[in-house]
Amino acid sequence: MSDEIFMQQALAQARQAAAAGEVPVGAVVVRRGEVIATGRNAPVDGHDPTAHAEIVALRAAAQALGNYRLDDCELFVTLEPCAMCSGAMLHARLRRVVFGAADPKTGAAGSVLNLFEQPQLNHQTALQGGVLARECGDLLQAFFRQRRADKREEARLAHPLREDALRTPDAAFDRLPGYPWQPRYVSELPALGGLRMHYLYEGEAGEGGLTWLCLHGNPAWSYLYRKMIPVLLEAGHRVVAPDLIGFGKSDKPKKDSFHSFSTHRQILLELVESLDLQNVVLVVQDWGGLLGLTLPMAAPRRYQGLLVMNTTLGTGDAPLPAGFLAWREMCAKNPEFDVARLFARGNPQMSAAECAAYSAPFPDKGHRAALRAFPPMVPDSPDADGAAISRQARGFWQNDWTGRSLMVVGAQDPVLGPPVMRGLQALIRGCGEPVVLAQAGHFVQEHGEPVARQALAFFSPAA
Ligand SMILES: [Zn+2]
């Protein structure tokens, strides 16, 4: 009975070791029915391979008694001692050693070997195992189970960088104006193949709340939605805003050839499924629309609204707008074009720091594969990748869409401006007269605050 009482005290030491992140083993030294020393496993913390619970307890006991010989002492330890500790116990000439759980891997008190049974080594130390063995073993198992789970979680959060990809250093995104949100990452989606995708996931979609899925285009990233997000969150809604692979805080494959319409569409489809987005208002502009407008037909029950800004469908069976062809030519001739200047040119209201934030993801040429790949990726023939699925999407918007649709158009856009948007409006069942913003250009979201208020009033009049 008293063995169990002392083993309980050794267990208390083991729990303290676990709390400190050490393998939970604890020991006490008892003399004449009294605990004179305790020890807990601490090799990690002390950078000391000999800092096993038993050694720590033996040292403390010898100090307490002023004698390296502990003839009239008993040692209680939660785990069968190893060869080192068993040897030290024999040197100390302990009267008795009591342990809890057996250690089939390194135990030197019967499991792997038994130093206590060597007549040449041991003349007086008695041995007993199995006291509170189950409790002692459970503590160890729980510790290792938790540690395995922690390691898996760590690996999940770490998202190792693929060799054929680049990752813009975090420092490039420090202190961007108007972008306070916590980054979230995913790399487990099959279509990502281990690439790390960044997205914002803010707010709670409570009773009647909407999830605004905000998709950016080329060469923007989720920063584009910084003026709309606060308005939507304040209204009690959720916002999800991914950065396409190759953009923003997402990984950037080195090769232009990684990028294809189908790959990016598949990634978005998988993201929506993995986050299980419900009551979605799809918010699109530019490539956000080329890709995003093909998503709802794959899971119509998830979507109930469409907020569509300057974009188009790449069906491949109609000529691309002249403004777009001019843009594509500009990109081909000037692959190193200045992203910040592009925003500054169309948005005189933006600060220099805001414009620079759009350049942040692309510190050098190597990071710009997506910028080179995207303009030629717009389907421009019936057989082009994405054309067939875009024609299918056209049919969906014309015939099957049952949600509400709001179109907001930046009038100053030379690429996908009012004429193109009129054409798109005609394809979307139930889409009313577009709201035209006279001052806004291609990047309509740079006027996002009034756009978000208008959208709230339209999609969520009760809010
Ligand atoms: Zn040991």
Q: What is the pLDDT of residue 148?
A: 83
Provide the percentage of residues in the chain whose pLDDT is more than 90: 91
Q: Give residue 85's identity as a one-letter amino acid code.
A: C
Q: What pLDDT, on a 0 to 100 scale, did the predictor assign at position 155?
A: 66
Q: Rounded to the nearest whole angstrom, what is the distance from the C-alpha of residue 81 to the centroid of ligand 1?
A: 5
Residue of 103, 243, 251, 413 with catalytic role:
413
Is the model's pLDDT at 1 over the cut of 70?
no
pLDDT at 461 over 90: no
Q: How far is the CA of 254 from the centre of ligand 1 (A)?
A: 51
Distance 77 CA to ligand 1 centre (A): 10
Tell me the pLDDT band of 156, cut-offs 50, 70 and 90. Answer: low
CA gap 320, 313 in Å, rounded: 10
Whether residue 463 is predicted with pLDDT greater than 60 in this model: the reply is no
Q: What is the pTM of this model?
A: 0.69
Q: How far is the centre of ligand 1, averaged over its atoms, from the C-alpha of 79 (Å)? A: 9
> Is 243 among the residues known to form the active site?
no
d(CA 254, CA 369): 6
Centre of ligand 1 to C-alpha 391, Å, is 71
Give the pLDDT score at 150: 85
- Is-catalytic flag, 276? no
How confident is the model at residue 282, as a pLDDT?
A: 98
Q: Are 169 and 367 in contact, with CB atoms under 8 Å apart?
A: no
Rounded to the nearest whole angstrom, what is the distance from the C-alpha of residue 108 to the centroid of ligand 1?
9
Mean pLDDT throughout 272-279? 95
The size of the chain, in residues, is 463
- State the distance from the centre of ligand 1 to the C-alpha of 92, rounded, in angstroms: 14
**How far is CA 98 from each of CA 27, 101, 105, 270, rounded to the nearest angstrom?**
10, 10, 18, 57
What are the start-end ranges of the E strands in 95-233? 96-101, 126-128, 165-166, 184-186, 197-202, 211-215
Is pLDDT above 80 for 312?
yes
Distance from the Cα of residue 433 to its chain's centroid: 40
Number of H helices, E strands in the chain: 15, 15
Q: How confident is the model at residue 123 (pLDDT cuts 50, 70, 90)?
A: confident
The active-site residue out of 237, 286, 367, 447 is 286
Per-residue pLDDT band for 47 (boundaries 50, 70, 90) equals very high
- The token duo for 409 is 């158009």
**CA 54 to ligand 1 center in whole angstroms:** 6
Instruction: Give me the residues paired with residue 30 across strands.
Output: 35, 74
Any idea which residue has 């009267």 for tokens? 95
pLDDT of residue 140: 96
DSSP string, 420-452: HHHHHHTTSTT--PPEEETT--S-GGGGHHHHH
Question: What is the overall mean pLDDT for the chain?
Answer: 95
- Please give the distance, rounded to the nearest whole angstrom, from the Cα atom of residue 87 to the centre of ligand 1: 9
Question: Among 88-102, 116-130, 288-302, 403-417, which is the least confidently predicted range?
Answer: 116-130
Asked about 47 being catalytic, the answer comes back as: no
CA distances for 415 relative to 213, 287, 374, 406, 421, angstroms: 23, 12, 15, 20, 11
Tens digits of residue pLDDT in 239-256: 999 999 999 999 999 999
Catalytic residue among 216, 237, 259, 442: 442
- Report whether pLDDT(34) > 90: yes
Average pLDDT over residues 378-407: 98
Mean pLDDT of 11-30: 96
Token pair of 144 as six digits = 């290792």
E strand spans, 104-155: 126-128
Question: What's residue 462's pLDDT?
Answer: 65
Average pLDDT of 126-143? 96
Q: Give the side-chain half-sphere CA count within 13 A for 294.
A: 25
Does 157 score more than 90 pLDDT?
A: no
